[in-house]
């Protein structure tokens, strides 16, 4: 049996800093996003690819790997069964965006041709069942985000689903209500792609998703998705250290009439305003914003209809998480610690990403109060996956390590932290 090494895959892994173990873990996570179940690969699986012992992985594995690489399997040196190897396209020649546009264009063209073909079938009728199917996919995206957060695979999947929703506009006839819902679905997917990019600190990409999401939301007329997009924009600018822009974007969300109709939306807008004001070092306004956010939450009618993305994350724990962020930025560390404990005690089990962020912020608050041992124990409770795969958590933990070494240089606590982070890197 010919077992020529897969040098194309080896070169790609070297270029992108993947070991056999870390690529196996990345593919397993990508398979979970695709299928709902994590893959079962390990480092030996990837070594078999590199050695040429496996020339054509199973279909789900290939798709997961292609999503990570942004390249077809053949460009990574794999050879379909029954074919002889041919020179693959180089990574420089393969444009992932062009690939996506070609696939999307092909789907749209096929749908249009099927609708227009005379004597074969009448044009397809696009209905609420199509919208419901997209909403189910959106719920899956939201769930993946809360488990993993910030991953490129989530961003790419959400963007592709936005294109799928738009393709349906041209795939047949539909009522105006259905068309508005399709635009709202496309805007919702695009806003999830935007959020994944923000969470992964890919801000230029997030801005591009934001512009598309805003245009789609306007065509849909959906107030809730407009709120989500502008509220995300405020959070993005807050993370970028631009509080004036953050307040302006968040004010667009807060001024939508939806916030006057539903106190829960008003509460979220006020809580995010409080987080921005904390970054801007306005103590009085921060305190007032969170008092108003709490009052609005208490007034909210739990029986009101709300979209899945709102129900999935905004509750007392999220309000406390935003208060934690604000008081940490203000340097009010005892209050930040108070809100951290409140948040962590109330977080729902599916909020995996939020738990890692709140735990890391708690460690910062404890260290700033001189409790180095307690802070280090808290930081060590963050999972290795979040510490190495989530850009925001990884950066906060790096900052924690730097602050710990500055606070207690050469101490046994600092040494313990150094050894612990080394184990994270080995696991990755």
Angle at 403 between CA 398 and CA 404, to 5 degrees: 95
Evaluated on CA atoms 421, 423, 427, 428, the torsion sign reads positive
Q: Considering the entire predicted model, what is its pTM?
A: 0.69
CA distance 216 to 162: 10
Return the domain boundaries, the chain: 7-76, 96-221
CB neighbourhood size of 415 (10 A): 12
CA distance 213 to 286: 29
pLDDT values of the chain reduced to their tens digit, one per residue, 428 residues: 456 888 888 887 876 667 888 788 878 877 776 776 778 888 889 988 998 888 899 888 888 888 777 678 888 888 887 655 444 444 334 444 444 444 344 434 434 433 444 444 446 778 888 888 888 888 888 877 767 666 788 888 888 889 988 888 888 788 888 889 899 999 999 999 999 999 888 999 999 999 999 999 999 989 999 999 999 999 999 999 999 999 999 999 999 999 999 999 999 999 999 999 999 999 999 999 999 999 999 999 988 889 988 988 899 999 999 999 999 999 999 999 999 999 999 998 888 889 999 999 999 999 999 999 999 999 999 988 888 888 888 889 999 999 999 988 889 999 999 999 888 766 55
Instruction: Give bridge partners of residue 142 from the DSSP assignment.
Output: none
The answer to whether 340 and 358 are in contact (CB under 8 A) is: yes
Q: Say what angle helices 352-368 and 333-346 make with each other, to 10 degrees.
A: 150
């Amino acid at each position: 049996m010919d077992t020529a090494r897969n040098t194309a895959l080896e070169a790609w892994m070297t270029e992108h800093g993947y070991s056999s173990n870390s690529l196996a873990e990345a593919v397993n996570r990508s398979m979970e996003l695709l299928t709902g179940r994590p893959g079962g690969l390990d480092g030996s699986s990837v070594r078999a690819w590199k050695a040429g012992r496996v020339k054509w992985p199973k279909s789900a594995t290939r798709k997961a790997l292609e999503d990570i690489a942004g390249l077809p399997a053949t460009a990574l040196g794999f050879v379909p069964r029954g074919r002889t190897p041919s020179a693959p396209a180089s990574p420089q020649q393969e444009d992932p965006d062009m690939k996506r546009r070609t696939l999307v264009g092909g789907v749209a063209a096929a749908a249009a041709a099927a609708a227009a073909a005379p004597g074969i079938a009448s044009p397809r009728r696009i209905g609420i069942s199509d919208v419901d199917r997209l909403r189910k996919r959106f719920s899956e995206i939201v769930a993946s985000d809360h488990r993993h957060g910030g991953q490129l695979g989530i961003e790419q999947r959400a963007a592709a689903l936005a294109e799928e929703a738009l393709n349906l506009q041209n795939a047949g006839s539909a009522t105006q209500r259905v068309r508005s819902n399709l635009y709202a679905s496309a805007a919702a997917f695009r806003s999830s792609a935007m959020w994944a990019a923000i969470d992964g600190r890919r801000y230029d990409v997030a801005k591009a998703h934001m512009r598309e999401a805003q245009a789609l939301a306007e065509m849909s007329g959906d107030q809730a998705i407009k709120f989500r997009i502008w509220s995300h924009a405020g959070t993005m600018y807050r993370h970028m250290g631009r509080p004036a822009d953050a307040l302006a974007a968040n004010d667009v969300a807060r001024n939508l009439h939806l916030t006057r109709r539903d106190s829960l939306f008003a509460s979220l807008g006020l809580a995010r305003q409080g987080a921005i004001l904390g970054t801007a070092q306005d103590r009085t306004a921060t305190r007032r914003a969170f008092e108003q956010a709490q009052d609005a939450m208490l007034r909210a009618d739990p029986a009101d209809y709300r979209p899945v993305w709102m129900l999935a994350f905004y509750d007392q724990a999220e309000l406390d998480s935003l208060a934690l962020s604000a008081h940490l930025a203000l340097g009010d560390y005892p209050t930040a610690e108070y809100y951290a404990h409140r948040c962590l005690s109330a977080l729902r089990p599916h909020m995996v990403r939020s738990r890692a962020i709140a735990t890391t912020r708690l460690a910062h608050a404890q260290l700033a109060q001189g409790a180095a041992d307690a802070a280090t124990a808290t930081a060590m409770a963050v999972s290795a996956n979040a510490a190495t795969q989530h850009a925001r958590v990884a950066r906060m933990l790096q900052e924690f390590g730097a602050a710990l070494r500055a606070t207690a240089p050469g101490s046994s606590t600092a040494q313990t932290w150094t050894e612990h982070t080394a184990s994270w890197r080995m696991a990755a």
